[in-house]
Amino acid sequence: MELSQRDRLSELVEELTTSGQPQLNQYRMKEIKKICKVSNDCIEHVYHSVMSQLNQEHAEVRLSAFQIATELFSRSHHFRTLLVDNFQDFLELTVETDSEQPLPPPKEVARKLRSLAIQTVQSWQSSYGTAYKKLALGFHFLKQVKKVDFHDAEARTVAERRMEEERRRKMERIYKERVEAVSKDMEESYQEIGATLTEMESCMSLLFPGFDLTNIQPTNNTPPNSQPANESPSVDEQPCCSSDLQEDRREGMMQEKEGTRVEKKSNFEGKIGKEDKGMTEKNMNNTEATTGQEKKERDDKERRDGNEQQEEKKGKEDWEKRKREEEGSSEEEEGETLDQDLFIRNSGLMSHSYSLNLNLSPGLHVRETEDNEAVVSTVMDLHRLIITKHLPAVQNWVQVFTKSGAEQQLLMRALDLKRSLEAALHKHKELHIDYKTRVRKVMKASSDGDDDDDFDEVPEKEGYEPHIPEHLRAEYGLDPVPSTSTAPVTKEAPAEAPPRLSSRQLKRLAEEEQDPTCAAATLRRLTQNLALPAESSNSSGPSSSQKAVDAPVVPFGLDLYYWGQEQPNAGKIIKSASQHQFWVPIEVDEEVENKELLAESRSRYISFPGSFTPVSHYCSAPLDNGKLCQRQDRLKCPFHGRIIPRDQDGRACMKEDRLREEQEERRKREEQPDWRDAELMRDIEAATGEDLGSDRLGKKGKGKKKKYPNLSDLKQSTNTSRSRLEKKVLNKSAMRRVAEVMSKADRRKHDKFSNQFNYALN
Amino acid sequence: MLGYLTARQAGVDDPLRLRRAESTRRVLSLKLNPDRDVDRIHGNGVNTIDIDAVEGRYMLSGGSDGVIVVYDLENYSGKLQYTCKAVCTVGRSSRYVHNFSVETVQWYPYDTGMFVSSSFDKTMKVWDTETLKPAEVFEFEGNVYSHHLSPIARKHSLIAVGTKDPKIQLCDLKSGSRIHVLQGHRAEILSVRWSPRYDHILATASADSKVKVWDVRRASGCLFTLDQHNGDKSKASSEAVNTAHNGRVNGLCFTGDGLYLLTTGTDDRMRLWNSATGENTLVNYGKVCNESRKRLQFTVSRGCSPEFVFVPCGSSVAVYALHTGELVTMLRGHYNNVDCCEFHPDNQELYSGGKDCNILAWVPDLRASDVEEESKSSNQAAADQSSVNPAFQDAWSSDED
């Protein structure tokens, strides 16, 4: 055999085996065959190179080598004899007959190799088994001793099959247990979930009776009409409900929010005294015609304005108000001309150009008010219950049932439950309930009940009271200080409602304000600072109580006790003579004058912590993404160092600062950060065609090129965060450093306490 | 060959010479032959085999599942292809079967009507071949690793038994009782062998890495203990004194003439000793893989001019020249560890059994008759062969050009 042929063969075999492809390259293979055809020497050479490749610890290499062997095995007798002579090793390397020599990674390829090898051995046996004894022996060995089932697609040995079987049985048992547990669990909580759903449903229909999305709820078919009897008035109430609702409806269904609000109120009123309310309503309608209604409506809106005005742009709002009013007031005009005087008398409004502010929010919107607070909180609780408990549980059941293939019925039931729960959640979402901030229930459980009771009994609540006398404000849970942040248009209106807070919340807020760590305290300071001047201008006269607040309160002390007098024996230490019978101390002065003590008793420390001023400047150092740093630290930003004055582009204003920054930048650029990995950069360069300077970097690192780029990298799996950390934490120098520190600590302890027995030992 | 034949014809040569030359040639050409099969009866590893000394026709084999099988090795069919049939079997269904792995089987040296088997179920059974029932059962305190009947003894019928107990038991077939105990070893006895030259000489190998040679007529102690360093104190550490190996000694074999003794140990060495003096001949066989914790049965050829040793070595059988220590060849055919091999002295065949449940017959693979003499007939034969075995033909497809 010529040397060139030999070299060419080795080259081809290496190329083929290191291609990493699941299939051989046909052209190369053909070339090998062509050379092999020439002489047996070539075959021998190929055989040896294939065997050496089979010995490589890489499943892809082995697979390719095995494929070459298969190709040649069916062609050449000589190759067959050679291979069969060494069939033990061949089987070890491809079928994994020796359990101590498992097939190398990657795993999937190894599995593929194994099953392919077993199938191939079987086909060889059927075609050549009679002629090659060792082949037959090997086949029988696989069949009899290793108990390979050649019909099994996975080509597993008996041991593996048994293990599989055992695992399956175990899983089955576990699943069965689980299904039992889960079905029991489901039986138990089925009722509960059903109750929850019903409750949720009725709550929602209370909040919004016209809610016609019931059809999305397949199981819980409670129609909105079938509410408990005592709540039905809400439906009956609708016609006699204030006309503004109808008006709103007419104006556009978009204003449902308004509608719901009023409706809710009427709901509530219906509960406390339907007849009373009807009476008053009628009266109002009779006497004041539309004015009362309008006022009410306006007040309503203004009350809301108080909440929303911060968010809305004033000018726009005004414009909108005008526009809205023009639309809405068409109906009211006749009434207005008639009862103008009456209107002025009643409302104190000099002008008719009051404004309406309607929020055109799409979809439903339920706002929590005091009226529907109980219902809303129930809904909230139920919602939370469903989210945190029922839905996960049901999902878990469904999962268990589907995984274990349990009875269809159980699964259906679980799915039904899940669907209805989800429907309830969806519905809840549709309602867009605005929750108020809430006091934790556990703390106020008892008072909560009381509140509810009060709620029902209070008769004043029945109608809307536009004017609340000053002395009653606290009772109504209103801020004693009226908010100044109302719109200028409403200034003349009688003291209107500030953001409404329940008495509970108020209490809570007060508590929070006492706590200096709480944000509320800061807020209070701010509001006090802001509010006080306004208050003084608004209210009739500054009250004395407010002055007392301004005066500092200091703890009582000796200096105050002797205020303006001479202290009798200040700064004197009086030593009493010994009372002992015969032990007498040496003569000492009975009184010792002490300057320091004297000064101390006369002076008083008053600490001036200063007042809290919130930081108004930003760090505004330029960030990578082009923005400026938005951190508001007082002196030093943790990322950008000392805060220095900067212009709007983030450049430092002072010259020395700018110089320093530039220097820093240069320094940073010089030391290479970790992410500028040479290989990564080389990749990027290859992709973009731009020189990023990877060569420079590459020289620094080892930059070892992979020998066979096509093979899957076995070491890749080792490049995990854990291994990287290990490399850092467990490297030699780090270990040495730690050991040094620890031994130093030990030595110190030893030096200190070596004379003590229990320390001396270690 | 022709030279030998003419010399023989002229009567110049000793007949033994021709015989030796031919058997040597045959041994050297031992191959795994597709023409010779041994029935696959054992469902588990084959621990031991024995060929009867009288006819050389029957072969015993003991498996690690307790099964004992008797094979007929003789081919009377007149065809080349022959499968050694199992004549009779002590299978798992037999009520006399050994409960655990059969470690040693041996024919009674003078008759195939009787054989002895010993097993890990702590018994040794003397069987009647005709009825396949045990005629006598010896029970011991520990697992029986090995037993041996003297192949030449005419004055006694003692069976030496090596058990887990360090004492060697001597059982008398005549009385059916254990008549004697040889003390001296400190660990279990893995192998026992009677000398084929002197009927009272017994060699024993133990896990305490010592090999002792006994004269059973002397009760007081052994004749000598084999020492790997030949008594050279400088080389031996204090513990290694009088040891044959640096590990467990699990194989013993006398040469056919009984002049030499071969031992194998788990230190992967094989040593050849002068059985008369106990001197280590220091033949270097190289590494002989040996991981067995039990007895290793190996054998020596008989009637060849340089004698050969056949020793299991991993999953193959290594063939060494006895006196030079040269590795002649490796017989590769088993797919798992080989436990035992036995040489058929008449046909120069080798039988080996291993953990892969196979008993393989290694048959001399002689060259086909010379082509030059009868070219036509040989052509015919070749054609026949190719028609018989298309598998041997190359199958290059034409499209690869």
Question: A288 vs B335, which has greater pLDDT?
Answer: B335
Least confident of A33-42, A260-269, B255-264: A260-269
Give the pLDDT of residue A760: 62
The per-residue pLDDT for range A504-529, each reduced to its tens digit, is 556 665 665 565 565 656 666 666 66
Contacts of A80 in chain B (CB under 8 A): 391
Helix axes A408-431, A391-404, angle to 10 degrees: 150
Query: Of A193-197, A228-232, B340-344, B397-401, which gets the smallest average pLDDT?
Result: A228-232
**Residue B69, pLDDT score:** 92
Kindly state whether B40 is in contact with chain A, defined as any CB-CB distance less than 8 angstroms.
yes
* Structure-token pair, residue A416: 């039904």
* pLDDT of amino acid B49: 92
pLDDT value of residue A491: 42
Hey, are the CB atoms on A75 and B395 less than 8 Å from each other? yes
Chain A residues in contact with B33 by the CB 8 A cut-off are 133
Question: DSSP E strands: which ranges in B52-188?
Answer: 58-63, 68-72, 82-90, 102-108, 111-119, 123-128, 133-139, 144-149, 158-163, 168-172, 177-182
Look at residue B162 and tell me whether its pLDDT is greater than 90. Answer: yes
A-chain CB neighbours of B391 within 8 Å are 77, 80, 127-128, 130-132
Q: Check residues A636 and A304 and name the one with the higher pLDDT.
A: A636
B336–A78: do the CB atoms touch at under 8 Å? no
For A144, which of B32, B357, B400 is closest by C-beta distance? B357
More confident residue, B297 or A454: B297
Residue A217 sits at the chain B interface (C-beta within 8 Å): no
User: Is the CB of B391 less than 8 angstroms away from the CB of A78?
Assistant: no
Within an 8 Å CB–CB cutoff, is residue B33 touching chain A? yes
Q: How far apart are CA A202 and CA A204, in angstroms?
A: 5
Are residues B391 and A128, on separate chains, in Cβ contact within 8 Å?
yes
CB contact under 8 A, A75 and B396: yes
Which of A161, A67, A75 has its CA nearest to residue A112?
A: A67
pLDDT, residue B91, reads: 87
pLDDT reported for residue B389: 55
- List Cβ neighbours of B16 (8 Å cut-off, separation of 6 or more): none
Strands B102-108 and A641-642: unpaired
Query: For residue B9, is pLDDT > 90?
Result: no
Question: Would you tell me how many other CB atoms lie within 10 Å of the CB of residue A211?
Answer: 18
Cis peptide before A233 (omega within 30 of 0): no
Residues A599-623, mean pLDDT to the nearest whole number = 80
Of A37, A78, A131, the CB nearest to B389: A131
In chain B, % of residues over pLDDT 70 = 89
* Dihedral sign (CA A15, A17, A23, A27): positive
Residues 300-319 of A with CB under 8 A from B: none
Residue B388 has pLDDT above 90, yes or no: no
Average the pLDDT over A119-140 and give the result: 85
Which pLDDT score is estimated for B309?
92
Fold of B20-368: Methylamine Dehydrogenase; Chain H (2.130.10)
- B332 vs A contacts (CB less than 8 Å): 85-86, 88, 134
Give the per-residue pLDDT at B51.
Answer: 92
Q: Is B315 on the interface with A (CB under 8 A)?
A: yes
What is the pTM for the complete model shown? 0.53
In chain B, which residue's Cα lies nearest the Cα of A78? B394
Amino acid A234: pLDDT: 41
Q: How many CB pairs under 8 A join A and B?
A: 68
Domains and CATH numbers, chain A: 3-156 (1.25.40.90), 720-762 (no CATH)
Q: What's residue B230's pLDDT?
A: 80
Find chain A residues with C-beta within 8 A of B83's C-beta: none
Please state, in angstroms and rounded to a whole number, the distance separating the CA atoms of residues A516 and A525: 10
Average per-residue pLDDT for chain A: 69
Residue A133 forms contact with B (CB below 8 Å): yes
Which pLDDT band, with edges at 50, 70 and 90, does A343 fall under? low
